[in-house]
């Protein structure tokens, strides 16, 4: 029977009844509560116009389970079941000033005997992407808040009590993929429910379940990618693929569909048509200026023209996209450049220049070496060539060749899309190795070999000359010395 129900549900998806597979649920408080529990009816954070039905249950203090919930149209049966398992699972009181969804709930707290619990959803299509909207607000305690985790991804609420749906405050949106088919031919999703760090109470008011297969006419493949946490604010635009493209950006033939424009919603909260205004675009990108250390939510609605047939005619439509999100970098840090001086000789040319780039939060865009030929120390008439040899922009390199000894100054410019950092270095080219070594600014400094009496860097016959000049000098003590 469950396989038959799943088959029927898949048929509805194929037939275009996407709304029929959205499932809503509203928890109830205990029997006899004043005011009495009322099942919510209306739209949640997941927009599903015209379908306002919410399954309900869970009154009392026990754990809870339900089977074969109805879809959001209130008519279509589904195979979706739900069960909550906790060591301590209680019902919460009503709040008359809050809407029927947010004012009653199941709760967990950190009293003795508490352990994290699980929310188990069964009867789903196997190996299928689902989006869960989990509502968590409406209790009377301080330090409230829940966290929900699936497959290592955790979303938290602050427990804010409000009639408005505010992501991260009184609900979270968690994308999942159901498991492979079990013995009944269906997939499952298990979500861990726990207290937010520092919270004493966590609540669950209800949930919505949405299959997130791509709709015909829907924008897809966002850049930055969904849940990306490496987005660079200096990047000039966000972008997406149109329904006339596949996942690789190649054109696909859909002769009955023409995209005319896009509405782009972008904010630090879930897009809400009541308070937000979209940006209209005819191209698949939008230049943006973003704050650091912020989570952005965005959605692309597609304006399409449908070319049907001579009976039904043509019409236009707006296909609402799914909500994507990404997080910007914690803060901007300009790159730090270390550029090393070089001392060499003409015999050892070309001189190898090296640098390192550290601390940057933005991707390095360009590396530019420049020879400062107008510098006062630049040898007159020298023919010098500076060649870029960089293969890694975090370790830029170059080489210098020249026909004359002297001091050559180089500038290295590093650009990260936001800031240009300049760093100077010198290449000191000497005609001979001895002069180069004597002038090298290193530790320990150059010192002549004891037997190199004329300090020409070689121990040779000429070193006997100063010795011969003083061959018979008496250096013994002849008189008293004061010290």
pLDDT number for residue 293:
84
Instruction: Flag whether pLDDT at 49 surpasses 90.
Output: no
pLDDT number for residue 236:
67
Instruction: Flag whether pLDDT at 16 surpasses 60.
Output: no
103 close to 35: Cβ distance less than 8 angstroms: no
Ranges 57-66, 107-116, 186-195, most confident: 186-195
- Helices then strands, counting H and E runs in the chain, come out as 3, 31
Using 50, 70 and 90 to split pLDDT, how confident is the model at 380?
Answer: very high
**pTM for this structure?**
0.50
Find the length of the chain.
Answer: 483
State the Cα–Cα distance between residues 445 and 363, nearest whole angstrom: 39
Question: Nearest Cα to 102, choosing from 111, 116, 114, 92?
Answer: 92
Greater model confidence, 140 or 253: 253
Instruction: Flag whether pLDDT at 17 surpasses 80.
Output: no
Q: How does pLDDT run across 252-304, given as a tens digit for each residue?
A: 777 678 899 999 999 988 887 777 899 999 999 999 988 888 889 999 999 98
132 close to 145: Cβ distance less than 8 angstroms: no
pLDDT number for residue 228:
67
Average pLDDT over residues 313-319: 78
| 3-state secondary structure (DSSP) of residue 261 | strand
Rg over alpha carbons for the chain, rounded to the nearest Å, is 36
Q: How does pLDDT run across 141-194, given as a tens digit for each residue?
A: 567 889 999 988 899 998 877 778 888 888 999 988 888 888 888 889 999 999
pLDDT number for residue 269:
86
Structure tokens at 242: 């149109």
145 close to 202: Cβ distance less than 8 angstroms: yes
Structure tokens at 430: 């000497």
State the Cα–Cα distance between residues 7 and 432, nearest whole angstrom: 87
Using 50, 70 and 90 to split pLDDT, how confident is the model at 448?
Answer: confident
Average pLDDT, the chain: 82
Instruction: Flag whether pLDDT at 388 surpasses 90.
Output: yes
Query: What domains sit in the chain, N to C, each tagged with a CATH number?
Result: 2-211 (no CATH), 220-328 (2.60.40), 336-450 (2.60.40.10)
425 close to 341: Cβ distance less than 8 angstroms: yes
Using 50, 70 and 90 to split pLDDT, how confident is the model at 350?
Answer: very high
pLDDT number for residue 12:
37
Pairing label, strands 295-309, 279-281: unpaired
Q: How does pLDDT run across 456-481, given as a tens digit for each residue?
A: 777 788 878 887 888 888 888 877 87
């Amino acid at each position: 029977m469950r396989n038959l129900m799943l088959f029927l549900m898949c048929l509805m998806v194929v037939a275009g009844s996407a709304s029929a597979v959205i499932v809503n649920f509203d928890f109830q408080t205990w029997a006899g509560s004043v005011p009495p529990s009322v099942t919510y009816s209306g739209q949640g954070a997941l927009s599903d116009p015209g379908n306002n039905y919410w399954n309900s249950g869970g009154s009392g203090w026990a754990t809870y389970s339900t089977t074969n919930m109805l879809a959001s149209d209130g008519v279509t049966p589904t195979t979706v079941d739900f069960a909550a398992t906790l060591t301590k699972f209680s019902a919460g009181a009503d709040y008359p000033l809050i809407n029927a969804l947010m004012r009653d709930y199941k709760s967990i707290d950190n009293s003795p005997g508490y352990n994290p619990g699980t929310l188990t959803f069964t009867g789903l299509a196997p190996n299928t992407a689902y989006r869960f909207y989990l509502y968590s607000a409406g209790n009377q305690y301080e330090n409230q808040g829940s966290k929900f985790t699936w497959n290592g991804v955790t979303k938290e609420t602050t427990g804010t009590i409000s009639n408005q749906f505010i992501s991260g405050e009184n609900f979270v949106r968690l994308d999942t993929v159901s498991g492979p088919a079990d013995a009944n031919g269906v997939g499952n999703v298990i979500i861990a429910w726990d207290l937010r760090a520092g919270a004493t109470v966590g609540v669950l008011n209800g949930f919505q379940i949405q299959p997130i297969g791509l709709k015909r006419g829907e924008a897809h493949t966002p850049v930055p990618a969904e849940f990306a946490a490496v987005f660079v604010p200096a990047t000039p635009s966000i972008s997406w693929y149109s329904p006339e493209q596949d996942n690789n950006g190649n054109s696909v033939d859909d002769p009955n569909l023409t995209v005319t424009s896009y509405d782009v919603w972008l904010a630090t909260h879930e897009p809400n048509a009541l308070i937000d205004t979209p940006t209209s675009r005819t191209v698949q990108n939008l230049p943006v200026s973003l704050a650091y250390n912020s989570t952005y939510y965005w959605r692309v609605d597609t304006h399409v023209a449908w070319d049907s047939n001579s009976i039904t005619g043509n019409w236009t439509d707006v296909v609402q996209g799914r909500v994507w999100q990404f997080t910007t970098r914690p803060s901007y840090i300009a790159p730090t450049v270390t550029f090393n001086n070089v001392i060499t000789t003409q015999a050892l040319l070309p001189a190898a220049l090296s640098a390192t780039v550290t601390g940057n939060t933005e991707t390095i865009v360009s590396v530019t070496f420049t020879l400062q030929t107008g510098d006062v120390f630049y040898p007159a008439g020298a023919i010098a060539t500076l060649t870029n040899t960089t293969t890694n922009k975090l370790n830029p390199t170059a080489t210098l060749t020249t026909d004359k000894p002297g001091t050559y100054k180089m500038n290295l410019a590093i650009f990260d899309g936001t800031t240009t950092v300049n760093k100077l270095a010198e290449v000191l080219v000497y005609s001979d190795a001895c002069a180069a070594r004597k002038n090298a600014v290193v530790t320990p400094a150059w010192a002549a070999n004891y037997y190199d009496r004329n300090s020409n860097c070689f121990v040779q016959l000429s070193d006997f000359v100063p010795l011969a000049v003083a061959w018979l000098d008496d250096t013994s003590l002849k008189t008293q010395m004061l010290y």
